[in-house]
Chain A
Amino acid sequence: MTIEVRVPQLPESVADATVVAWRKQPGDTVTRDENIVDLETDKVVLEVPAPAAGTIKELKVPSGATVTSGQLLAIIDAGDVAVAAATVAAKADSAVQTEAVGGAKLAPSVRRLVEEHHLQPTGIEGSGRDGRITKGDVLSHLSEKESSNAVPAAAAARPVASAVVPIGAPKGSRAERRVPMTRLRARIAERLIQAQSTAAMLTTFNEVDLSAVNDLRSRYKERFEKEHGVRLGFMSFFVKASIEALRRFPVINASVDGNDIVYHEYYDIGVAVSTDRGLVVPVLRDADGLGFGEIEKSVSAYANRAREGSLTLDELTGGTFTITNGGVFGSLLSTPILNMPQSAILGMHKIQERPVVVGGQIVVRPMMYLAMSYDHRIIDGKEAVQFLVAVKEALEDPARLLLQV
């Protein structure tokens, strides 16, 4: 009996997908739900599982082809095929260097770096013998990651290199390597330009004394964990404070559509999470209705699933306001780019102890700079500044979150 494997229904906003990597070849056996092919869309890389166990009979589209919802991808000969031990070492597909890592063991320095930075080796291009990953490859990968971190965007690229270092090339040669952008990378680039050219974007800054938040966190640490099963971090405070401020300044939560300003009477807060593929922004729907525990749990769950690459498209779309945190990488101050079509984005940064003046005295406080980039077409400077002050005041005096004042 033959089974057809088709492209899953793609969401409205996604027109088509690209076949990135066939994980199986004709003749290979598959178990039910085993991944057959990776499809790349503007936002995520989708895995297409085998609907039943069997043997791959035919692949209908080649690697690199563009496919649409429901399109026939492959045919499987169903049957009770004895499942061979899953071969981790996939055949080396020269177009996608990531395969080559499958069976080849990683060099000691690479193992160390992968562990330290929680990386997925399959996402790193290998320039060594037989496609092996060298330490230099990982270092390049990490520096590429860092340079794309301040930008809120959907799951980022896995570079597909077509060039291989020539045999016997002298070390230190100044050759150039031309690598075409992946679909994801190109889409990110497109969206960034779009944001910059559509919105009248600028950034306003303030700073916040997080000693009150720290105080609460240390006082209720154990009880919170016991009650909610998750650590009390900073994100729940940031989200709550943002929502309080958004209530007062609804235009910050709005978006531009043609000549209309669309006010959203709900609060879908995007929380940027860093993964080794780049920054992803899962959305907390109706965040105003979530308690601190629920927010922390959701954010933690999103972070884990983002790192596994298992976020769904629905979780990544929508959102009326975004919070991003460059502090994780050590950023003290930055100017985030808008996550279109949203009109504002709040940037949190590194918390650093600094001497500040309180009541005429110099004291040491855990300070953090706040940055908010906003669309000046609909948000005026006064509102932007006051919004940020509201966030700051709510964080410096958390009781205000309780009392909604």
Chain B
Amino acid sequence: MSDNQFDVVVIGAGPAGYPCAIRAAQNGLKVACIDEWKNADGSYAFGGTCLNAGCIPSKALLESSELYHRAQTEFAAHGLSATGLAFDVATMQKRKTQIVKASTQGIASLLKAAGVTALQGHGRLLSGNRVEYTAADGSKRELSARHVVLATGSAPMELKSVPFDCRAVVDSWGALEFTEVPKRLGVIGAGVIGLELGSVWRRLGAEVVVLEAMDQFLAMADQQLAKEALKHFRKLGLDIKLGAKVSGAEIGQDGVTLKYADQAGAKSVTVDKVVVAIGRRPYTRDLLGEGVAVELDERGFIKVDNECRTTTPDVWAVGDVVRGPMLAHKGKEEGVMVGDLIAGRVAEVNYAAVPSVIYTAPEIAWVGQTEEQVKASGRAYKTGSFPFMASGRARAMEAPAGFAKVISAIDDDTILGIHVIGPMAGELIAEAVLAMEYSASTEDLQRTMHAHPTLSEALHEAALAVDKRAIDYPNK
């Protein structure tokens, strides 16, 4: 094969694209991976939104801010005292930047080690499965590929009434880059991103108001969990207003005045910075050349079947640019599946067992159906829950908030959903996902030993509670 001929060309090296490229290369294929992400300083970086402007940087800041917050609120209980506790945003941001850099360089070396030709620049699909690659210097190169995988991800949605100005009104990336703590922060959208970012700056002292247009808080989550979460976020100091529809913004001397309306009528609030976190839309700008028959759906996602094939033979699409939850791990599994399918191997993604995590404190995670979804399906069910307040480990960690909840089918005892709000929820949920992958029954979880004292016992006890056989908490 010549320099421009490949078995697979992947456009996008984010959490869906780079695993696809690596898996395809592991399967012995000749792979090229094109990525155009540029940082504010103009440098290229692999890893997409996740590594550069999403998952990783947010986790770094969440960790730093939570540490500061816990020092302030929790030290006393431990008998620890610290005077003059202070923080420096510049150092915090420097640490974050270093973590991001290490991660993105890590991707570069992984791609290299796998033998993938990693190209930084723009990729555009042409008809006949050719890809036009435009390098940083503007030179173009035409690659031919037996298979092309589109993994261009998503971009933050813009609110027309409150457009980005990259100073006072920013998107999630901008909110991660603040060089100082805003005195007053307005967050539009109480979704996962809005809550995480709001938490970061609130812990560092900002006055945070969150304007959510929907009447229901975290509508996609189990409502028992959502209720508990709302209670804690309000306690943290996030002023969450539900049913608040933002109609416009005025940038003035005093800051940005957001105009919104809720049940009571028209209102307004003035803040120093606004983060618009109302969701993300699939990103396909300049991706599909003329004559390319790859179809998009009415919301702009690339249409694919359950094996991620597009409407054009040998063109695939994975990650945020296709249907389904916009989660890095969903994208990753899709990318890996495609890397295997192209090589003729058996692979699939189980969309029924995709975990969701919100990295706030308390942390929230779930997999499977919510109680509302089970109720709507009409299937008879039973539930059991266990509060972390009754967990010795959680109390030792001074993290007694929240609970674990298991929902099971009455007919055959299958686990329908597991929901956790509390310490390390995102880690605890892995057991639940595994259980659901093996169609485990509640009884299977009840009969599985869990180490003591750990947080994972909460799942064990919650499963027992389903049949009113919990040991470490009274059964109702």
Q: Please give the residue numbers on chain A whose beta carbons come within 8 Å of chain B beta carbons, in ascending order.
A: 107-109, 112, 127-129, 132, 134-136, 139-140, 167-172
Contacts and interface: CB of A to CB of B under 8 A. Distances in A.
B99 to A, nearest CB: 35
B414 A107 contact: no
A127 B439 CA distance: 9
B269 interface: no
Given A136-B414, A171-B414, A172-B379, A107 B440 contact: yes
B378 A128 contact: no
A168 B412 contact: no
Given A109-B447, A170-B352, A135 B377 contact: no
Contact of B441 (A109, A129, A167): A109
A112 B412 contact: no
Nearest to B412: A136
A168 B352 contact: yes
Contacts of B377: 171-172
A108 B443 contact: yes
B396 to A, nearest CB: 29
Contacts of A136: 411-414, 439, 441
A72 B351 CA distance: 49
Interface of B: 306, 348-352, 369, 374, 377-379, 409, 411-414, 416, 437-441, 443-444, 446-448
A132 B412 CA distance: 15
Nearest to A165: B439
A403 to B, nearest CB: 55
Contacts of B414: 134-136, 171
User: SS class of chain A's interface: helix, strand, loop or mixed?
Assistant: loop
B443 A135 contact: yes
Contacts of B351: 168
A183 to B, nearest CB: 28
A36 B414 CA distance: 37
Contacts of B374: 172
Contact of B438 (A129, A140, A167, A169): A129
B432 to A, nearest CB: 14
13 contacts: A108-B446, A128-B438, A129-B437, A132-B438, A134-B414, A136-B411, A136-B439, A139-B411, A140-B412, A168-B351, A171-B409, A171-B416, A172-B378
A129 to B, nearest CB: 5
A171 B441 contact: no
B443 A168 contact: no
Contacts of A139: 411-413
A109 B369 contact: no
Contact of A134 (B350, B439, B446): B439
B444 A135 contact: yes
The 7 lowest CB-CB distance pairs between A and B, nearest first, are: A136-B412, A108-B447, A135-B441, A109-B443, A172-B377, A172-B379, A128-B439
B167 to A, nearest CB: 45
Given A108-B443, A136-B412, A171-B416, 10 more contacts: A129-B438, A134-B414, A135-B412, A135-B443, A139-B413, A169-B352, A171-B352, A171-B377, A171-B409, A172-B378
A168 B414 CA distance: 15
Contacts of A140: 412
Contacts of A135: 412-414, 441, 443-444
B259 to A, nearest CB: 42
A172 B416 CA distance: 10
A330 B291 CA distance: 72
Pick from A109, A170, A172 the residue with the most CB of B within 10 Å.
Answer: A172
Given A136-B413, A136-B414, A107 B379 contact: no
Contacts of A170: 352
Contact of A112 (B348, B352, B378, B447): B447
Nearest to A132: B438
Contact of B348 (A127, A128, A167): A167
B440 to A, nearest CB: 7
A91 B20 CA distance: 32
Contacts of B348: 167-168
Contacts of A129: 437-439
B350 A108 contact: no
A168 B351 CA distance: 6
Pick from B349, B411, B439 the residue with the most CB of A within 10 Å.
Answer: B439
Contacts of B443: 108-109, 112, 135
Pick from A136, A168, A171 the residue with the most CB of B within 10 Å.
Answer: A171
Contacts of B379: 171-172
Contacts of B349: 168
Contacts of A108: 443-444, 446-448
A167 B412 CA distance: 19
A171 B350 CA distance: 12
A109 B377 CA distance: 25
A168 B350 contact: yes
Contacts of B437: 129
A109 B444 contact: yes
Pick from B306, B411, B441, B447 the residue with the most CB of A within 10 Å.
Answer: B441
B412 A134 contact: yes
B448 A109 contact: no
A19 B455 CA distance: 53
A109 B414 CA distance: 11
Contact of B369 (A134, A168, A171): A171
B351 to A, nearest CB: 5
Nearest to B417: A171
Nearest to B374: A172
Contacts of B440: 107, 134
A169 B353 CA distance: 11
A140 B411 CA distance: 10
Nearest to B414: A136
B380 to A, nearest CB: 10
Contacts of B448: 108
Nearest to A126: B439
Given A168-B350, A168-B351, A107 B438 contact: yes
Nearest to B379: A172
Contacts of A128: 438-439
A108 B463 CA distance: 14
Nearest to B416: A171
B222 to A, nearest CB: 15
A127 B411 CA distance: 15
Contacts of A107: 438, 440-441, 444
Nearest to B351: A168
A170 B378 CA distance: 13
A277 B379 CA distance: 30
A136 B412 CA distance: 5
B463 to A, nearest CB: 11
A109 B448 CA distance: 10
Contacts of A169: 352
A266 to B, nearest CB: 49
Contacts of B378: 172
Contacts of A134: 412, 414, 439-441
Contacts of A127: 439
A8 B295 CA distance: 63
Nearest to A167: B348
A167 B438 CA distance: 12
